A and B are shown apart, each in its own frame.
Chain A
Amino acid sequence: MLPLAGSLLAGLFGRQIGRAGAHWVTILAVAGSFALSSVVAWEVFFNDLPTMNYSVYTWAVVDGFQFEIGFLIDSLTALMMVVVTFVSLMVHIYTVGYMHDDAGYQRFFAFINLFTFAMLMLVMANNFLQLFFGWEAVGLVSYLLIGFWFKKESAVKANLKAFLVNRGGDFGLILGVAAVAYYMGSLDYAQVFEAVPAVAGQQMSVFGGVEWSVMTFICICLFIGAMGKSAQAPLHVWLPDSMEGPTPISALIHAATMVTAGIFMVARLSPMFEQSATALSFILVIGAFTALFLGLIGIVQNDIKRVVAYSTLSQLGYMTVALGVSAYSVAIFHLMTHAFFKALLFLGAGSVIIALHHKQDMREMGGLARYMPITAATAWLGSLALIGFPFFSGFYSKDMIIEAVKASDRAGTGFATFAVMAGVVVTAMYTFRMLYLTFHGTTRMDEHTRSHAHESPWVVTVPLILLAIPSVAIGYLTIEPLLFGGALADAITVLPANDVVAKLSEKFHGAFAFGIHGFVTPVFWLAMLGVAISTYVYLFNTQVAAVAKARFHWIWRLLDNKYGFDVFYQKGIAGGALMLAGGLSKWADGRLIDNALVNGCARMVGQCASLVRRLQTGFVFHYAFSMIIGLVALLAAFAWLR
């Protein structure tokens, strides 16, 4: 059964277009693949199924390169498969309620089903070609889904932006893949990893004279791809805008799964990244920057989904930091816990949005806990997980990241330690600000909306509850096997010198002890500080926010403008490209080549012709004479050539 499991999974997801039964078909398909993924995971984790690596068909054979389409099933893949299919299943069910009266109901289900297929292709790939295929395919579906409401101008702007910024990342990725093909001579993971030691010492010159380590070049190129997909600064700008899409996909694609593809890729390619300390430092710094500074923006956002989006950016930064210190398993651990609690928060936000008839501005919410108790309770659980309250899933993963950074001696850890510690305060602040503004305090919506506010139907609340369970418990249950039990050891390679997780294991005495200890760590008190600030400002003394905003206006401005990244891309890059395009089109192509050269030649020929017309005397001997001259000239030319 098992060699077939992978291909069955993919086979289940044709793009099924049903009419009335669209959601049944798609939900059953995802449920089926979730069941199969669970079986695979069970076999891998409990029955010690050896790594499966097999190809399904040959995509092409060119010039000694064998391009195969195939699957690689090991612990990392199995874990990702379960996470992806579980969240996807929840989102499918939730969508029944959320998209209830949307005209594009079947289209939506077809897209999210297609997405699940693409994402599984990505995580199950056993080679770079298929990775790239899945990579772009999830990007495509993300594009289609952000622009799902294609009548909305802001939505189609956002989807174009998302696709193009991602393409910026893919630019790096494809160069990395090309470099892999050149230096390793294959695109198959297993063969590439075998070739890594041979390539590790090689140098290449990129800019004349400057020698680069080949591995550093490859890893940085590949990571640029990951920066696009996993929205790391400065390629993060598409993610907040992607919130224009329907909320279920914000949960599925832009929080739980697709954006973690970059994290997954680096973990998958750990044998390569391990060879380049420079690239890992680069990753560390980018991640730390993202974790802290993009989290800060979350504090000033008023759109409930955007707060969660900036929170996602910040958490992705945490994962990237973990990658940067070679704690790949910790990154994957955080990826998993984050997938659950962030999907929960997004779906909770969606539930609020349904109740308020698609209003997303938190300034018009407040006091909703009374009207929607289940949503509020699950949002609390998700938030506690997000800020890393002891015993919640986020606590285990985030604390492990912080510990890993402290234990590492890679260049850049000083900044990273500061960033991840400060990030804890920031996370707690924006999370509780959101909770208070939405569910507590005074109700600020208009009378009409309030009279309609009520708890969402069961198709919405059941996924919330089902997601809340792992958000709370998964960390406690899995930290030991995943990080210290070697469950991911067959998929992740860490050089002994870089192995921070091993250092941490000496201090680790079980999940319970770690949780108890969590109450006395500085990290916990930093989080409580953030909570306290938010509690004071947004629950008890709401004037403070306005005063602070006025007092520190420039900081607020800076955050509100998102450090100017958007403006820079919009005006600088997009505007610049269009200006260049217009200039080239009008001046170079239109005036210079077409008008001056081409039509100019034509005019010149025309003028010459009118001159030559006088030569057309009509006398035969004139013609005969010129023919002879021409012939002699040609013969002379040939003679010279020989």
Chain B
Amino acid sequence: MFEWPLLSLLIWLPLATAVLVVFLGQSFETLVRPVALAGTLVVAALSVVLYLGFDSGTAAYQFEEKVAWIETFSVYYHLGIDGLALPLILLTNLIGILVVIGGWAIKDRPHLYLAAFLVLQGLMVGVFAAMDAMLFYVFFEAMLVPMFLIIGIWGGPNRIYATVKFFLFTFFGSVFMLIALIWMYLEGGSFQITDLHQLPIALNAQILIFLAFLIAFAVKIPMWPVHTWLPDAHVEAPTGGSVVLAAVMLKIGGYGLVRFSLPITPDAAATLDWLVIGLSLVAITYIGFVALAQSDMKKLIAYSSISHMGFVTLGLFLAFAIGRNSGEFAGAGLGISGAMVQMVSHGFISAAMFSAVGVLYDRVHSREISSYGGVANTMPWFAVFAVLFFMANSGLPGTSGFVGEFMVILASFHANVWFAFVAATTLLLGAAYSLWLVKRVFYGEVGNQSVAALKDINAREWVVLGTLAFFVIAVGVWPFPLIDMMEVSVSHLIDHILESKLK
């Protein structure tokens, strides 16, 4: 039977659609949006095929495609996914549809806007599916370009500062990754990620490589203290840009840690896990406080994202501390699975919150909390969604926000009581900043004229928010399918990282 190159299709179909959309251009403007939507829908349908065809019983890479690309340097166009990549690909393609629907009302050069998102979507799938480090790097860098344009062209008044900051920050980080990759190529003669996983490396070299990767991915996640580009980027980005940035691009940092840092340099990770855990705990609490002080809704959500991504990095690096504390590794998988679930869940919730802010911004053109008040009076349905999403953001059980946090807190208790103690402060801080925002924006008497004139969400916004609400609740009530997808890969990863690969 002929095997479709599914992963390639998932990568290149959005790009092809993007080209088509650009060519349709302004001359056939009415067609631009339906074509873009159709493209993302086909991609989503293929993702479902991918999900159905995926065997969660094995940690092996599936749907592999391998073609020589630059043979002199043994660089291959090599794709494949395991249980760690699949959920993120599904997330990416779901968000892809919602962004197109959400961007329906864009007036300024919609063909370019949609094309940029389609390109971005394809490249992000490429990042998750790449099995060759160079290929990963190419996608990783290329991805910056459409986002750079999206913020720079369709962004707010201070967009140039934000977009340059965004670009320089992430570019600065990835250069270190490139150096590390080249060094390992010289050492082992291969860019295949699976080969790199097996490559024995001395401890001091491992530490340098680990740090190089950490810089690259920490900027992306972002971890404290290299996070300051994110609030600026979010504030200036258009709604769709914020959605993709928060929902998917941040996850690439977390994915990088799982795919590169942990398995390639496990001994360095074991040596330096205190660093990552410490930064994560700082992110959870310190950023939680900073979020509390924000007066701009998008900034608040951006800081909340950083704080939630702290759970991802915390969960990923608990394994070694658990081993030191209890002499065994029960609970390590809980941490890593929790981190993965947290990534997916945060994808839904942050996308939902930014979409919600977008809904308000489209009507009132202000992101300031103080410009609102009593929105629930004029937009009751919207308020229902918003309260749900902010509750999910504060980790309410029954929503996806709870699952990952809960698992990571349980795991962190295995490592150290105080890790759990500090991590659990998010229960208070997360609820405080989320619900205080809800109180100031949605409750109370109608705040002013513009709030009084608000109309409730239209069908298009219903679809976006409703879809996200469905997933937020579904994962919260029954996370089994999601966790089952990656369970075997996670335990495989743990077995791998606990084995020293010192030279």
User: Any chain B CB within 8 A of the CB of A581?
Assistant: yes
Given A63-B331, A178-B420, A588-B286: A156 touches B443 (CB 8 Å cut-off): yes
Which of the residues A63, A157, A175 comes within 8 Å of B424, measured between beta carbons? A175
Q: How far is the CB of B422 from chain A (nearest CB, A)?
A: 11
B435 located at the interface, meaning its Cβ lies under 8 Å from any Cβ of chain A in the complex: yes
What chain B residues lie within 8 Å of A581 (beta carbons)? 289-293
Assuming the contacts A58-B480, A61-B487, asked whether A163 and B424 have C-beta atoms less than 8 A apart, the reply is no
Given A143, A170, A584, A594, which contacts B427 in the complex, CB threshold below 8 Å? A170
Contacts A60-B483, A64-B330, A593-B228 given; does A132 touch B428 at CB 8 Å: no
Distance to closest chain B CB from A639 (angstroms): 11
**Separation in Å of the B173 CB from the closest CB of chain A?**
13
**A151 interface neighbour in B374, B436, B484, Cβ under 8 Å:** B374
Interface residue from A147, A151, A175 paired with B413 (Cβ < 8 Å): A175
- Chain B residue nearest to A150 (CB atoms) is B443
B334 at the interface (CB under 8 A from A): yes
Q: Supply 14 A–B pairs (Cβ within 8 Å), ascending by A.
A: A60-B483, A61-B483, A136-B397, A136-B398, A137-B398, A150-B444, A151-B374, A151-B443, A167-B428, A182-B414, A585-B289, A585-B294, A586-B293, A598-B229
Residues of A121-161 at the interface with B, using a CB-CB cut-off of 8 Å, are 129, 132-133, 135-137, 140, 143-144, 147, 150-151, 153, 156-157, 159-160
A469 at the interface (CB under 8 A from B): no
| Complex Cα spacing A529 to B373, Å | 51
Contact A179 B413 (CB under 8 A): yes
Is B369 engaged at the interface, CB distance under 8 Å to the other chain?
A: no
Q: What is the distance, in angstroms, from A267's C-beta to the closest C-beta of chain B?
A: 22
Q: How far is the CA of A58 from the CA of B478 in the complex (A)?
A: 8
Verify A638–B183 contact, CB threshold 8 A. yes
**Chain A residue contacts of B331, Cβ below 8 A:** 63, 182
Known contacts A64-B330, A181-B413: A593-B292 contact under CB 8 Å:
no
Main secondary structure of the interface of A (DSSP, over half): helix
* A598→B228 contact, CB < 8 A: yes
Indicate if the CB atoms of B484 and A61 lie closer than 8 Å.
Answer: yes
A641 near B391 with CB under 8 A, answer: no
Shortest distance in angstroms between B386's beta carbon and chain A's nearest beta carbon? 13
Chain B 182-225 interface residues, beta-carbon cutoff 8 Å to A: 183, 186-187, 204-205, 208, 225
A540 interface residue per 8 A CB criterion: no
**Candidates B334, B376, B428; contact of A62 at CB < 8 Å:** B334
Residues of A within 8 A of B (CB): 57-65, 129, 132-133, 135-137, 140, 143-144, 147, 150-151, 153, 156-157, 159-160, 163-164, 167-168, 170-171, 174-175, 177-179, 181-182, 185, 204, 206, 577-578, 580-582, 584-586, 588-589, 593-594, 597-598, 602, 638, 641-642
B377 / chain A contacts, CB cutoff of 8 Å: 151
> Could you tell me if B483 and A62 are in contact, using CB atoms closer than 8 angstroms?
yes
With A63-B337, A133-B398, A593-B225 already in contact, the answer to whether A185 and B443 are too (CB < 8 A) is no
Contacts A63-B330, A147-B443: A132 and B397 contacting too (C-beta < 8 A)?
yes
Given contacts A164-B432, A178-B420, contact A150 B407 (CB under 8 A): no
- List, in ascending order, chain A residues with CB within 8 A of B204's CB: 641
Whole-angstrom CA separation of A159 from B424 in the bound complex: 21
B417-442 contact mask (Cβ, 8 Å, vs A): 1 or 0: 10011001101100110011001001
Apart from A64-B330, A578-B292, A641-B183, 13 more pairs, CB < 8 Å: A59-B478, A62-B487, A129-B397, A137-B397, A151-B377, A174-B406, A174-B409, A175-B417, A178-B413, A204-B417, A588-B290, A589-B228, A589-B290
B278 is an interface residue with CB less than 8 A from chain A: no
Q: Are B376 and A150 in contact (CB under 8 A)?
A: yes
Please, which residues of chain A bring their CB within 8 A of the CB of B490?
A: 63
Partner of A150 from the list B165, B414, B442 (CB cut-off 8 Å) is B442
Q: How far, in angstroms, from A174 to B445 measured CA to CA in the complex?
A: 36
Closest to B397 in A: A133
Please judge, given known A-B contacts A147-B443, A151-B374, A171-B427, whether A177 and B435 are in contact too, CB under 8 Å: no
A578 contacts across to B, CB distance below 8 A: 292-293
**B414 cross-chain contacts in A, Cβ below 8 A:** 182
A137 to B395, CA, bound (A): 11
The answer for the CA separation of A163 and B439 in the assembled complex, in Å, is 12
A151 touches B445 (CB 8 A): yes
Closest chain A residue to B405 by CB distance?
A174
Asked whether A60 and B289 contact (CB < 8 A) given A156-B443, A577-B432, the answer is no
A598 nearest in chain B by CB position? B228
Q: A137 to nearest B CB, angstroms?
A: 6
Contact (Cβ within 8 A) B286 A584: yes
B16: Cβ under 8 A from any A Cβ: no
Q: Which of A129, A153, A185, A584 has the most CB of B within 10 A?
A: A584
**Contact among A163, A171, A582 for B293, CB-based, below 8 A:** A582
Cβ of B479 within 8 Å of any chain A Cβ, yes or no, is yes
* B289 and chain A: residue at smallest CB distance: A581
Q: How far is the CA of A291 from the CA of B205 in the complex (A)?
A: 64
Q: Is the CB of B333 within 8 A of A63?
A: yes
- Chain A residues with Cβ under 8 A from B439's Cβ? 156-157, 159-160
Q: Does B314 contact A (CB under 8 A)?
A: no
Indicate if the CB atoms of B428 and A140 lie closer than 8 Å: no
B491 beta carbon closer than 8 Å to chain A? yes
Give the residue among B183, B391, B424 with the most A Cβ atoms within 10 A: B424
CA distance A151 to B374 in the complex (A): 7
Given A156-B439, A179-B413, A597-B225 contact (CB < 8 Å): yes
Which residues in window 440-490 of B have CB below 8 A to A? 442-445, 478-480, 483-484, 487, 490
In the bound assembly, the distance between CA atoms of A622 and B414 in angstroms comes to 59
For the complex, what is the distance from the CA of A144 to the CA of B383, rounded to whole Å?
A: 12
Q: B403 near A: Cβ within 8 Å?
A: yes
Could you tell me the distance in whole angstroms from the C-beta of A582 to the nearest C-beta in chain B? Answer: 5
Q: What residues of B have a CB within 8 angstroms of the CB of A206 in the complex? A: 417
CB contacts (< 8 Å) of A641 on chain B: these are 183, 204-205, 208
Contact: A168 with B428, CB < 8 Å?
yes
A63 to B331, CA, bound (A): 7
Tell me the minimal C-beta distance from B397 to chain A in angstroms.
4
Contact indicator A577/B421 (Cβ below 8 Å): no
Chain B residues with Cβ below 8 Å from A143 are 435
Chain B residues, CB < 8 A from A204? 417
Q: Is B237 interfacial (CB 8 A cutoff)?
A: no
Question: A207 to chain B: closest CB distance in Å?
Answer: 9
Leading 7 A-B pairs by shortest Cβ distance: A63-B333, A178-B413, A585-B293, A581-B293, A581-B292, A156-B443, A133-B397
Contact B424 A164 (CB under 8 A): no
Q: Which residues of A contact B229 (CB under 8 A)?
A: 598
Residues on the B chain within 8 Å of A64, using CB:
330, 333
B410 within 8 A of A: yes
Q: Are A61 and B293 closer than 8 Å at their CB atoms? A: no
Contact B407 A62 (CB under 8 A): yes
Closest to A168 in B: B428
Q: Is the CB of A181 within 8 A of B289?
A: no
Q: Which residues of B contact A160 (CB under 8 A)?
A: 435-436, 439
Closest to A58 in B: B480
A181 to B396, CA, bound (A): 20
B351 CB contacts on chain A under 8 angstroms:
none
Q: How far is the CA of A58 from the CA of B442 in the complex (A)?
A: 36
In the assembly, what is the distance between CA of A136 and CA of B401, in Å?
13
CB of B276 within 8 Å of the partner chain: no
- B290–A140 touching, CB < 8 Å: no
Q: With contacts A59-B479, A597-B225 known, is A175 near B443, CB below 8 A?
A: no
Using Cβ atoms and an 8 Å threshold, which residues of chain B touch A133?
Answer: 397-398
Q: Is B321 in contact with chain A by the CB < 8 A criterion? A: no
B177 at the interface (CB under 8 A from A): no
Given A62-B407, A132-B397, A178-B413, CB of A584 within 8 Å of CB of B333 = no
Most buried by A among B331, B425, B478: B331
Interchain CB contact under 8 A, A164 and B428? yes
Q: Is B120 an interface residue (CB 8 A)?
A: no
Q: Which residue on chain B has the smallest CB distance to residue A212?
A: B417
- The chain A residue with its CB closest to the CB of B403 is A60
Complex Cα gap A555–B431 (Å) = 36
Bound-complex Cα distance A219 to B407 (A) = 21
